[in-house]
Amino acid sequence: MTMNIEEFIENFAAQFDETDPETIVADTKFKELDEWSSLTALSIIAMVDDEYDVIIKGNDILKAETIQDLFEIVQKKKLK
């Protein structure tokens, strides 16, 4: 299954209750979102596992600044 950034953004945006999904794009610095928290980070880790069968760690989230960065980390792990 090939991954695409649009679907990844959609899945990422679904983890937020109060943030307008339209405001979430590839170059969004997700840690700057008002709703971002450690709980959201856990939701993202679970979503990546469920949707892409890839295990990411907190460290991967720390390394990523934008959603595009995180997408690329997940993509690299998927190819391994």
d(CA 38, CA 22): 22
Among residues 49, 47, 20, which one has the least CA distance to residue 33?
20
3-state secondary structure of 33: coil
pTM metric for this prediction: 0.94
76: left (phi over 0), alpha (psi -120 to 50) or beta: alpha
State residue 27's pLDDT score: 98
pLDDT tens, 38-73? 999 999 999 999 999 999 999 999 999 999 999 999
